[in-house]
């Protein structure tokens, strides 16, 4: 891949990317910092795993797993990546309106009232089953599509056993079939049962492709790999790999990362300002529901971030912490919608305007997405994709 010179900062406001001069300061309250060098490093690491002839098709759905779809896709375009997949037509439209180049595949359902957006913004729609193919075809205009084959996940896709219906989809005159794909639902590990199921899915998929070719149908690009599949079953080739969570430098849980040697680096940090520092005297309460009581004279800091920004409320009452000036500050009481209280009694010289790190490094300390996911009993995918829209995304 060619080396590119990256700008120092770009800011995402929801519809536009603004330069420093247009919007000179975006770290006023709470924000997300994206490390472009780590993103490029992850892209290179993943390219090294791809089978011959396979391209990355990054999954930038759910606002690029909370990272900021436009900023991430802009950066990927500059790296030479020109294939993307999203979940919804609105996500695809947002990318196009912000100048993203290349193919954009919509993985999910699009309502017939929105079919005009597919052509207007040069988007590729997934055919989720034969009845949906008929609806797409009845629109009366040519639509570029990828046909999804259900090989065992039993979510979207035409069932692999219904070969006649798959052939009928190829006969729809208004559908320009540019790809076929399936989704591996048990590729996150290599235990015997899951491995057998994954290989059965792959075999079924390639058998469908082979039968279609025998019937004279042209099978263009094919893809079945996502992050876990590429890491655990790199021998399963295709034209694209729909890489999601791994692109952002983490896997779904810590165990997954420990089981692989790939050097992935987290792209995202979450930070917030200390809005106020307050004395709390012995016996006084703080926050909703009297859930925090000072057992002695203490100091608390009010952080300008809350559960509306995606900070899980289950981290309340000491279940979670932040970092301030390299020290740990436990969460005091209940996390609020817009603010969070933390105990800073043992941290010297904390002042209004200081930075609290929710995810990321401060001094020699670090809080990872894995830490928060484990504390909230979920996976990193959910934790990151729920980060709020009002957090400014900044590419550094």
Q: Which residue has the higher pLDDT, 5 or 273?
A: 273
Classify residue 154: in a domain, yes or no.
Answer: yes
Residues 216 and 347 occupy one common structural domain: no
Task: Tell whether 155 is in a known binding site.
Answer: yes
Distances in whole angstroms, Cα of residue 69 to Cα of each of 14, 25, 28: 10, 20, 22
Q: Is 288 a catalytic residue?
A: yes
**Whether the predicted pLDDT of 183 surpasses 60:** yes
Residues 233 and 320 occupy one common structural domain: no
The domain containing residue 148 runs over which residues? 35-258
**Whether the predicted pLDDT of 9 surpasses 60:** no
The DSSP H or E segment spanning 385 is helix 380-385
**Whether the predicted pLDDT of 167 surpasses 50:** yes
* The one catalytic residue among 25, 132, 288, 292: 288
pLDDT category of residue 2 using cuts at 50, 70 and 90 = very low
| pLDDT for residue 25 | 76
Residues 222 and 282 occupy one common structural domain: no
Q: How many residues does the chain have?
A: 396
| pLDDT for residue 3 | 41
| pLDDT for residue 20 | 55
* The one catalytic residue among 61, 74, 221, 321: 61
- Cβ atoms of 370 and 380 within 8 Å: the answer is yes
Residues 251 and 201 occupy one common structural domain: yes
Torsion angle, CA of 205/193/59/256, rounded to 10 degrees?
-150
Residues 202 and 75 occupy one common structural domain: yes
* β strands within 61-152, DSSP E: 83-86, 103-106, 124-127, 143-150
The CATH number given to whatever domain includes residue 321 is: 2.40.37.10
Our count of domains for the chain comes to 2
Lowest mean pLDDT among 8-22, 129-143, 163-177, 341-355: 8-22
Residues 208 and 273 occupy one common structural domain: no
Over pLDDT 90: what percentage of the chain? Answer: 92
Classify residue 146: in a domain, yes or no.
Answer: yes
- Cβ atoms of 316 and 337 within 8 Å: the answer is no
Q: What is the mean pLDDT of the chain?
A: 94
pTM of the model: 0.92
Classify residue 298: in a domain, yes or no.
Answer: yes
Which 3 state secondary structure label does DSSP give 319?
A: coil
- Nearest C-alpha neighbor of 337 from the set 280, 392, 390: 390
Classify residue 360: in a domain, yes or no.
Answer: yes
Q: Is 61 a catalytic residue?
A: yes
The CATH number given to whatever domain includes residue 117 is: 3.20.20.10
| pLDDT for residue 26 | 82
Classify residue 358: in a domain, yes or no.
Answer: yes
Residues 193 and 336 occupy one common structural domain: no
Residues 167 and 115 occupy one common structural domain: yes
Residues 216 and 277 occupy one common structural domain: no
Q: Chain centroid to CA 72: how far?
A: 10
The HSE-up count of residue 188 (CA atoms within 13 Å, CB side) is 13
């Amino acid at each position: 891949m060619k080396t590119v010179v990256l700008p120092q900062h770009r800011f995402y406001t929801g519809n536009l990317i603004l330069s420093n001069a247009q919007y000179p300061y975006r770290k006023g309250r709470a924000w997300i910092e994206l490390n472009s060098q780590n993103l490029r490093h992850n892209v290179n690491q993943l390219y090294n795993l791809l089978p011959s002839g396979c391209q990355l098709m990054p999954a930038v759905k759910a606002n690029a797993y909370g990272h900021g779809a436009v900023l991430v896709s802009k950066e990927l375009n500059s790296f030479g990546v020109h294939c993307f997949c999203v979940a919804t037509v609105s996500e695809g439209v947002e990318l196009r309106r912000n100048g993203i180049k290349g193919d954009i595949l919509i993985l999910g359902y699009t309502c017939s009232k929105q079919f005009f957006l597919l052509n207007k913004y040069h988007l590729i729609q997934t055919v989720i089953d034969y009845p949906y193919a008929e609806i797409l075809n009845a629109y009366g205009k040519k639509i570029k599509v990828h046909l999804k084959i259900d090989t065992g996940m039993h979510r979207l896709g035409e069932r692999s056993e219904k070969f006649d219906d798959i052939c009928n989809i190829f006969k729809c005159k208004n559908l320009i079939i540019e790809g076929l794909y399936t989704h591996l639902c048990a590729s996150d590990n290599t235990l015997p049962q899951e491995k057998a199921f994954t290989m059965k899915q792959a075999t079924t998929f390639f058998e469908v492709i082979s039968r279609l070719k025998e019937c004279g149908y042209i099978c263009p690009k094919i893809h079945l790999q996502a992050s876990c599949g590429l890491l655990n079953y790199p021998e399963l080739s295709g034209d694209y790999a729909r890489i999601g969570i791994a692109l952002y430098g983490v896997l779904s849980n810590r165990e997954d990362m420990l089981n692989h040697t790939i050097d992935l680096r987290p792209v995202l940090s979450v930070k917030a300002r200390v809005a106020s520092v307050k004395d709390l005297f012995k016996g006084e309460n703080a926050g909703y529901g009297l859930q925090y009581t000072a057992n002695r004279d203490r100091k608390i800091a009010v952080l300008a971030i809350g559960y509306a920004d995606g900070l899980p409320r289950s981290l309340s009452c000491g279940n979670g912490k932040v970092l301030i000036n390299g020290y740990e500050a436990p969460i005091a009481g209940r996390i609020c919608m817009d603010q969070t209280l933390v105990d800073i009694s043992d941290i010297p010289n904390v002042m209004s305007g200081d930075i609290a790190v929710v995810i990321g490094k401060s001094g020699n300390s670090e809080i990872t997405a894995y830490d928060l996911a484990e504390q909230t009993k979920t996976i990193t995918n959910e934790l990151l994709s729920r980060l709020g829209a009002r957090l400014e995304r900044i590419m550094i």
